[in-house]
Structure 1
Amino acid sequence: MSFNDWGAGRSAELPSKATNYAVELWHEYRIAIILSALLVLGLLRVYLHLTEKRQEPLVFSKIYAPEAKARPVEVAETKDEKSTPATSDEDTVEKKKTQLSNGPRRIKGELAKKTRGGGNSDELRKIQVLIFYSSLMASTDKIVRDFAKALQSPLGVNPEEPQDCPFLAPQTIDLAEADYDEYFISPPKIENTSGGGPVDLFYLFVLPSYNIDSINDSFLEHLRDTHHDFRIDTSPLSSILGYSVFGFGDREGWPTEEEGFCFQAKELDRWMAKLTGRKRAYPLGMGDWKRDGHARLSEWQLGLVDTLQLLEQTGGLGEGVAGSGDAVESDDEGDADDDDDDDGEVVFEEAPTSKVSKSKGSGGLEDLEDLGRIMELSRADGPGQQKAAPIAIDFTTDGKLTEGKVKSRKSPIALVKEMVPKGSPTYNSLTKQGYQIVGSHSGVKICRWTKSSLRGRGSCYKYSFYGINSHQCMETTPSLSCSNKCVFCWRHGTNPVGTTWRWVVDPPKLIFDGVREGHYKKIKMMRGVPGVRAERFAEAMRIRHCALSLVGEPIFYPHINEFLGMLHGERISSFLVCNAQHPDELAALQHVTQLYVSIDASNRESLRRIDRPLHRDFWERFQRCLEILRERRFRQRTVFRLTLVKGFNVEDEAEGYADLVEKGLPCFIEVKGVTYCGTSTSAGAGLTMANVPFYQEVCDFVLALEAALKKRGLVYGIAAEHAHSCCILLASERFRVGGKWHTLIDYERFFELLEERGPDGDFTPEEYMGAETPEWATWGNGGFDPRDQRVDRKGRPIEAA
């Protein structure tokens, strides 16, 4: 090998060895090398941060400063600004406004207040009512245009000064000319021509129903396709404020609603509930072209205006019944209105699941006869504390107080407490059950028959027997306390009990105003419930009847006569139910439209087992009340209310009840089977579903009672029935005229007699006897109003047998 060849080989071998040596070093010291590099980079970063020149912060850092709310955003000066000469304050302000308009928006250090539609509070938002309609013969077109003009005045629309009114002039849109995608895929953007904030939309529909192909069919198909289109949100119109539908129909062409009267309007109402996310603002209205169309439209308009005004004031549709507008359950009564409802009937209910504190001073559910111990335990400061409870006056005595001193022993200044203090376990339990507590001892609640009547699904037995419109009936009580602990009480012991009135007494005016306001509030909550009839909803906003039978003992209230006078002054009929344990109060009671006495047993032992009265002389009190009713039978309409509980007061007691009827001689006898809903307290009393009589058993008992009465020479007959409530009415032959029963009441005549002769005046029940009992309500015909539709608990129609 030559020298050159050896040198070339040697030079090629050196890089290879160097490379291998470097790789070995890297594998051996790579961790140390990496950590060292990171340390050097970190030190370099710190050095640069400490030595860099401080610069003026950017505007974006200032807009989030805490003091940004108190001063305008500062904008960094530019070289041109520094070189410009001094300017006036006005020029400076104008320049800053220009800079701010070009720069980022000022951020305030607080949440913006929300108003209707989600806008800021400083924006004057407008409401645009859009009225959609369809018409084949141009008649609907004229009606809708007149309707739109009629809306302007009550809404305060002023075309000359539109900026001062929150409502824009209503617009009418013919569905034959409308672009469905523009209005029903997503709400359109309406320009506010009068200036101010954005515009919120409210949809109204006036839709005649046709039995031929029309624009309605394509429109409803579009709504259905929109809802089922997976590419579109299931509630694309949820941003509008609300909607309502009015339908025209022809009852000659469609004799009943089930056969098709206003069927397209009802279908539209259901689809709009789905597309808007349950924003039905007012119930569906319906009118007949040839009969009451214009009258029904006017009624619907009045209610609609109230809703729109409330919407403008509050920004929302208000509180509604839970689940009332569920689009999927538009025809389903569901759980929205049936949970924890009573209907003025004796029922068993589920005990509340809420936990009640058992600690001292919690205001538990003890019997209030032990007033001394409970008052000590229930003081706000606890037992043994120095600070005393506030002094209240016992208004239940007859004496009068002078300034600063007591006039007599009959009017002491007593340490009394409220019957149902706000926040107490009793208060919480009753409110959870749907009561609205008024004052400290009164309550009001809307019963399920009121809800049912509003939806055209049947009224209670008092409508069939006496002509009471259930949707115009208020169920209330001026006293939540009772002197019995009935085994079938549907309040399962949550209401207070006592033998004498030992609580603060609220004035009658406070109670009357409170229960009326509470009832109307609960009626308004039904506004968005599917199936509510607009005409009945409008009627429901005028109370005509008051059932003083909610819970407790109404006659226990010391000022019951004054309260009744306020009802009658508003021409509201009164139906008062008492438990025959307060004969003195019963004797002092003035005229009521109809006076009930609960007759729950035919003998002393049975009454003790069922009613569990607190008075030791309960049977003597019971007998005295029957004597008082006998004396009043020619001055008032009196009713015996028999509640049948199998195993307690049904078997072999018809003869005993006949003896009680012979003693009291009431005008009417209502016989009703107890309704069972399940409750722990009733189970503790030995009650189960087996204690609920079948309707046929109630019928058999009534027939046996009628025979027992005839055997005693008493002229009573079976006048009416309401099988839906398991209730049957026996009436005195005094109310049988010309072979026809007349159990209804002439309410207007009753009020006229009160005005003519006073609350203590003498007039007989026959003087305000009403019209003939309708044929469908008489014995053997079921008693269900043919105008309504019976449904099961899922809202499915029940076919007549």
Structure 2
Amino acid sequence: MLPEDSGVAPSAVSSVTHYAVELWHRHRIPIILTTLFALGVLRIYVHLTEEEKRELLVLPKIYADDQQDDRIAAKEEKPALEAAKKKVADTSEDDKKIGARQKKGPKRIKGDATKKNGTRITETPTGEPHKIQVLVFYSSLTANTEKIAKQFTEELGESLKEMDAFLTPQVLDLAEADYDEYFITPPKTESGPPIDYFYLILLPSYNIDSINDNFLEHLQETHHDFRIDTSPLASIVGYSVFGFGDREGWPTEEEGFCFQATQVDKWMAKLSGRKRAYPLGMGDWKKDGKERLSEWQTGLVDVLTQIEQNGGLGEGVPGSGDPIESDDEEIEDDGEVLFDDGTGANSKSSGSLEDVEDIGRIMANGKSSATPIAIDFTTEGKQPRKKATPAPPKDMVPKDSPTYNSLTKQGYAIVGSHSGVKICRWTKSALRGRGSCYKYSFYGINSHQCMETTPSLSCSNKCVFCWRHGTNPVGTTWRWKVDPPDLIFNGVKENHYKKIKMMRGVPGVRAERFAEAMRIRHCALSLVGEPIFYPHINEFLEMLHKERISSFLVCNAQHPDQLAALQHVTQLYVSIDASNKESLRRIDRPLHRDFWERFQRCLDILRERRFRQRTVFRLTLVKDFNLEDEVEGYADLVEKGLPCFVEIKGVTYCGTSTSSNAGLTMANVPFYQEVCDFVVALEKALLKRGLNYGIAAEHAHSCCILLASDRFNVDGKWHTVIDYDKFFNLLEEKGPDGDFSPEEYMGPATPEWATWGNGGFDPRDQRVDRKGRPIEVS
């Protein structure tokens, strides 16, 4: 109600109110739309005004002129291929880009390290091939490194003379080099043919202030500078680092040996987008520095030769040359986000793989992926830079090579150019009556009559528990000279007997066993490398069997074609080092990009052969790698391959694998009880799947236990021992490709002392401790 003294008649107020309501109902839709439109215009105006002010608050990015501004690309929606072509446009186009960046201002880049601009364009739009310039950087306080660097550069130049793609290598002192010119962006060519760069860094480590500290500080600041792309050096062909140190002052890497070279290698991996073309090399000034540098140089020449032939480092996935093999170089201590796929989730690995040669096609089609393209440095490229006359095959292990010297120091006898033989420690033990290996307990093999050899020292894996710590050659395809099988067969026998004869003066050697040892009865093709990698492995096996020498062949499940072509062997092993793809990548560190598919194909082949050959899964348990929580996964693999036997063995510690960055220590060696617990759990998992496997035998001294299929359980007793004479009779009767089953050469029952719960130590022998004192077994 209106107050009485308002002076307004109630009837007039009612009339105005009624008119306003009628007007609102008549025009409410145009009024609402007009209001919304005005508010929208106002919001757009405010947003644009704030955006301009914000971009003027930071300094413009005036370097790294080969990078595209993501904001400009998003607004203009230009195809990625056009952006790539602009990188090789004239200087006027570069000026336009710089001006655009100065107008817009920089942004903080949190992107992945594997940039699409890291792919080398091997030819210009006019078809002119790029030249490659190798730059050798060094630092030196006493001039020693300077002399070595200059001599190294001269020798490298001689090696590259025959390669048209390479210019004469240049040597640069880090104390004089302009870091901004070389380590923020690669140098730019003013005239002449376009040049790509390959960086080599020779760096001694000092515990005093030196140019190294300034260099490391620059690399670190460049990586963390938000104005600079995460991988500003991604356009280089590749890089590698070699460090010099002093083991007297710093015995190990953990204690500082070559610590500055290690840091440079890490930061260069980040800045180049994982373009590590060859592993970090390290050498001791006073001992093996020259030898290690020579070995490193040899490997570099091989890499540069592949670049000459293929136009780049290669293609592939994490797990070969990728830093995730050891410690993931993409992880930052400060928790910085390294890759944002637009969904708010962080990612360390790509999840999708593309060939290097397909990057241009993908860009041309306008395809983009939320995940980065992974680059691998190990496999052969598909599209060569140009047709070149193939070089003649070379020796896998030349006699004047550091690899040859390293292997011979470890007790190997190198036969021909790619084979080796070595006397096993169990052979020495058996000759002295101190026990035989698990093969005697499980299969009846006399250790002192067993020859351990390999026709191929090369392997396609770099396992963390490898006995050789990475000193043997590696490769995915056979690219070396091939020795005839008779040369290898005669050579390994001769060298094995020589090593046996050297034992006759050792105290404790038994005369009767020494006489028996001069007749080889068994051959373990498991020394190092990959035996089926040898192109004539079947001919070599025939020579063994012709002299009635049994064959125990071990492969790493990475060569299914060779495995499918393999003829009869006495027992066929396949190493099953992990139960899933990621674990296998971490433990075996395979070179093949399709390692998991190869692994699965090998299991299928073994399943098909289980009624024609004795097949064995060999599980090597490594604590903190594949021992915990993988029983079910292993049971799935056994169900897939259905082997005759499953050997479970704890890893043998052979020294810390520092050369392969594996970091394996005694802490990774499981106790025997842990292995026993694992085997019991695996047996239960197999029984749960309806697979009839049981624990047949053990050899506690080797930390090894045998699971066997019930096919080898006769009348309640396990029969894991082999009747070797029967095997050779069947082989002679039906031929190397003949059809006969493992049960046909099944031997007598497994000895009671070797069965589960009895230890498995040969009762004929005497156990001793490390000092040779007898151990009383209760």
TM-score by length of 1: 0.51
How far, CA to CA, are the matches of 1:773 and 1:414 in structure 2?
A: 54
Aligned counterpart for 1:744 among listed residues 709, 713, 721: 721
Q: Secondary structure at the match of 1:517?
A: helix
Aligned counterpart for 1:658 among listed residues 615, 625, 635: 635
Shift in Å, 1:676: 1.4
Superimposed CA distance per residue, residues 416-440 of structure 1 (whole angstroms, 9 cap, x where no aligned partner): 1110000200000000000000000
Quick one: structure 1 residues 368 and 620, their matched pair in 2 at CA, closer, same or farther if it must change by over 3 Å?
Answer: farther
**1:727-738 correspondence to structure 2 within 5 Å:** 727-738=704-715
2:682 is aligned to 705
Aligned counterpart for 1:421 among listed residues 398, 404, 412: 398
Q: Secondary structure at the match of 2:728?
A: helix
Q: Give % identity.
A: 84
Q: Secondary structure at the match of 1:767?
A: helix
Superimposed CA distance per residue, residues 687-740 of structure 1 (whole angstroms, 9 cap, x where no aligned partner): 222111000000000000000000000000000000000000000000000100
How far, CA to CA, are the matches of 1:368 and 1:635 in structure 2?
A: 42
Quick one: structure 1 residues 373 and 651, their matched pair in 2 at CA, closer, same or farther if it must change by over 3 Å?
Answer: same
Aligned counterpart for 1:372 among listed residues 306, 310, 321: 306
Aligned counterpart for 1:610 among listed residues 564, 587, 594: 587
Q: Conserved in 1, the CA contact under 8 Å of 2:607 and 2:643?
A: yes
Shift in Å, 1:588: 0.1
Shift in Å, 1:677: 3.2
Pick the structure with greater CA Rg: 1
Shift in Å, 1:375: 11
Cα RMSD, aligned residues only: 2.4
Q: Aligned pair 1:781/2:755, yes or no?
A: no
Quick one: structure 1 residues 586 and 367, their matched pair in 2 at CA, closer, same or farther if it must change by over 3 Å?
Answer: farther
Shift in Å, 1:800: 0.5
1:630 is aligned to 607
How far, CA to CA, are the matches of 1:592 and 1:366 in structure 2?
A: 38
How far, CA to CA, are the matches of 2:304 and 2:552 in structure 1?
A: 32
Q: Secondary structure at the match of 1:626?
A: helix
Shift in Å, 1:638: 0.2
1:357 is aligned to 291
1:519 is aligned to 496
How far, CA to CA, are the matches of 1:374 and 1:431 in structure 2?
A: 33
1:246 is aligned to none
How far, CA to CA, are the matches of 2:735 and 2:697 in structure 1?
A: 32
Q: Conserved in 1, the CA contact under 8 Å of 2:615 and 2:643?
A: yes
2:699 is aligned to 722
Shift in Å, 1:467: 0.3
1:461 is aligned to 438
Shift in Å, 1:684: 3.0
Shift in Å, 1:370: 6.4
Quick one: structure 1 residues 490 and 630, their matched pair in 2 at CA, closer, same or farther if it must change by over 3 Å?
Answer: same
Q: Secondary structure at the match of 1:659?
A: helix
Q: Conserved in 2, the CA contact under 8 Å of 1:487 and 1:682?
A: no
Q: Secondary structure at the match of 2:753?
A: helix
Q: Aligned pair 1:478/2:455, yes or no?
A: yes
Q: Conserved in 1, the CA contact under 8 Å of 2:469 and 2:660?
A: no
Letter in 1 for 2:643: P
Q: Conserved in 2, the CA contact under 8 Å of 1:362 and 1:424?
A: no
Quick one: structure 1 residues 429 and 708, their matched pair in 2 at CA, closer, same or farther if it must change by over 3 Å?
Answer: same
Q: Conserved in 2, the CA contact under 8 Å of 1:488 and 1:682?
A: no
Q: Conserved in 2, the CA contact under 8 Å of 1:682 and 1:688?
A: no
Q: Secondary structure at the match of 1:707?
A: helix
Quick one: structure 1 residues 371 and 570, their matched pair in 2 at CA, closer, same or farther if it must change by over 3 Å?
Answer: farther
Q: Conserved in 1, the CA contact under 8 Å of 2:470 and 2:660?
A: no
Letter in 2 for 1:720: A
Q: Conserved in 2, the CA contact under 8 Å of 1:709 and 1:715?
A: yes
Shift in Å, 1:372: 3.4
Q: Conserved in 2, the CA contact under 8 Å of 1:672 and 1:728?
A: yes
**1:234-273 correspondence to structure 2 within 5 Å:** none
2:551 is aligned to 574
Q: Secondary structure at the match of 1:357?
A: helix
**1:326-725 correspondence to structure 2 within 5 Å:** 354-355=288-289, 357-359=291-293, 364=298, 372=306, 414-681=391-658, 684-725=661-702
How far, CA to CA, are the matches of 2:295 and 2:539 in structure 1?
A: 34
Residues matched between the structures, number: 418
2:151 is aligned to none
Quick one: structure 1 residues 660 and 356, their matched pair in 2 at CA, closer, same or farther if it must change by over 3 Å?
Answer: farther
Q: Conserved in 2, the CA contact under 8 Å of 1:356 and 1:425?
A: no
2:84 is aligned to none
Quick one: structure 1 residues 636 and 680, their matched pair in 2 at CA, closer, same or farther if it must change by over 3 Å?
Answer: closer
Q: Conserved in 1, the CA contact under 8 Å of 2:470 and 2:659?
A: no
| Structure 2 unaligned blocks of 5 or more | 1-282, 311-388
How far, CA to CA, are the matches of 1:586 and 1:641 in structure 2?
A: 16
Shift in Å, 1:581: 0.1
Superimposed CA distance per residue, residues 210-239 of structure 1 (whole angstroms, 9 cap, x where no aligned partner): xxxxxxxxxxxxxxxxxxxxxxxxxxxxxx
How far, CA to CA, are the matches of 1:354 and 1:619 in structure 2?
A: 37
2:42 is aligned to none
Quick one: structure 1 residues 365 and 425, their matched pair in 2 at CA, closer, same or farther if it must change by over 3 Å?
Answer: farther
Letter in 1 for 2:469: H
How far, CA to CA, are the matches of 2:468 and 2:304 in structure 1?
A: 21
Letter in 2 for 1:430: L
How far, CA to CA, are the matches of 1:609 and 1:727 in structure 2?
A: 23
Quick one: structure 1 residues 750 and 375, their matched pair in 2 at CA, closer, same or farther if it must change by over 3 Å?
Answer: farther
Letter in 2 for 1:611: D
How far, CA to CA, are the matches of 1:590 and 1:781 in structure 2?
A: 36
Shift in Å, 1:373: 6.5
Q: Conserved in 2, the CA contact under 8 Å of 1:464 and 1:783?
A: yes
How far, CA to CA, are the matches of 2:400 and 2:612 in structure 1?
A: 43
How far, CA to CA, are the matches of 2:478 and 2:767 in structure 1?
A: 43
TM-score by length of 2: 0.52
Q: Conserved in 2, the CA contact under 8 Å of 1:364 and 1:426?
A: no
Quick one: structure 1 residues 360 and 645, their matched pair in 2 at CA, closer, same or farther if it must change by over 3 Å?
Answer: closer
Letter in 2 for 1:727: C
Q: Secondary structure at the match of 1:709?
A: helix
Q: Conserved in 2, the CA contact under 8 Å of 1:367 and 1:497?
A: no
Superimposed CA distance per residue, residues 640-663 of structure 1 (whole angstroms, 9 cap, x where no aligned partner): 000000111011100000000000
Q: Secondary structure at the match of 2:291?
A: coil
Superimposed CA distance per residue, residues 291-350 of structure 1 (whole angstroms, 9 cap, x where no aligned partner): xxxxxxxxxxxxxxxxxxxxxxxxxxxxxxxxxxxxxxxxxxxxxxxxxxxxxxxxxxxx
Letter in 2 for 1:686: G
2:767 is aligned to 790
Q: Conserved in 1, the CA contact under 8 Å of 2:692 and 2:710?
A: yes
How far, CA to CA, are the matches of 2:309 and 2:486 in structure 1?
A: 28
1:66 is aligned to none
Q: Secondary structure at the match of 1:697?
A: helix
Q: Conserved in 1, the CA contact under 8 Å of 2:551 and 2:569?
A: yes
Q: Conserved in 1, the CA contact under 8 Å of 2:464 and 2:660?
A: no
Quick one: structure 1 residues 664 and 462, their matched pair in 2 at CA, closer, same or farther if it must change by over 3 Å?
Answer: same
